């Protein structure tokens, strides 16, 4: 697997139906992570999980706290998360989360992009200004979905 940069994704872990891949970013300290899994649930449950930013500490890796800043619509909101980074200064991010569905394929994409100016910088944290996260829910048969991050 590779991205447009030609960097190769390496499988780092496979457990309980979840496969995790990593690749090195353009800066030495940055690693990109993606995961794939198949879930048996409803699409509305998956969308509700992603839109519940206050629940991120329970399932988003290294998220210490997360909360809603503002809701633009049922499919768009702004949130702030604090990420634990062992041995370094914890990070925070402010992002706009948008959810959309392709009408023909029924694939749902949730994309979070870092934004500036929505929340004051807190000197206790290092702000992640270039944050980007994409979750894709691909319908399979019945009530099964492949979740790609």
The pLDDT value given to residue 27 = 65
CA distance 129 to 108: 25
pLDDT of the chain along its 149 residues, tens only? 334 455 789 999 888 888 899 888 776 666 788 899 999 999 999 999 999 999 999 999 899 999 999 999 999 999 999 999 888 899 999 999 999 999 999 999 999 999 998 899 999 999 998 889 999 999 999 999 999 98
Residues 47 and 91 in one domain: yes
The pLDDT value given to residue 46 = 94
- Assess contact for 116 and 77: CB atoms under 8 A: no
CA distance 87 to 97: 29
Q: Say if 94 falls within a structural domain.
A: yes
CA distance 26 to 9: 14
The encoded tokens of residue 99 equal: 């959810």
Sequence-separated (6 or more) residues with CB below 8 Å from residue 75: 98, 99, 100
Residues 112 and 47 in one domain: yes
Q: Say if 147 falls within a structural domain.
A: no
Residues 15 and 50 in one domain: no
Counted domains in the chain: 2
User: ∠ CA 64-66-72 to the nearest 5 degrees?
Assistant: 165
Burial class (CB in 10 A: 0-12, 13-18, 19+), 65: middle
Q: Say if 49 falls within a structural domain.
A: yes
pTM for the predicted model, two decimal places: 0.85
The pLDDT value given to residue 2 = 36
Any idea what the CATH number is for the domain that residue 138 is in? 3.30.530.20
The pLDDT value given to residue 18 = 87
The pLDDT value given to residue 31 = 75
Q: Say if 148 falls within a structural domain.
A: no
Residues 27 and 56 in one domain: no
For residue 120, what are the domain limits? Answer: 41-142
The pLDDT value given to residue 29 = 61
Burial class (CB in 10 A: 0-12, 13-18, 19+), 113: middle
Residues 32 and 57 in one domain: no
Q: Where are the alpha helices (DSSP H) in 1-149?
A: 43-51, 56-59
């Amino acid at each position: 697997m590779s991205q447009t940069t030609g960097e190769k994704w390496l499988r780092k872990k496979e457990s309980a139906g979840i496969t995790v891949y990593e690749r090195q970013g353009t800066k030495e300290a940055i690693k990109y992570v993606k995961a794939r899994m198949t879930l048996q649930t409803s699409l509305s449950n998956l969308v509700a999980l992603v839109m519940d930013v206050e629940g991120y500490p329970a399932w988003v890796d290294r998220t210490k706290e997360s909360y809603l800043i503002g809701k633009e619509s049922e499919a768009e909101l702004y949130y702030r998360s604090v990420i634990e980074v062992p041995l370094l200064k914890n990070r925070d991010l402010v992002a706009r989360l948008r959810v959309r569905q392709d009408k023909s394929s029924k694939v749902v994409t949730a994309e979070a992009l870092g934004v500036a100016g929505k929340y004051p910088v807190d000197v206790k944290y290092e702000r992640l200004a270039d944050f980007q996260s994409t979750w894709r829910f691909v319908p399979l048969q019945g009530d099964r979905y492949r979740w790609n991050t």
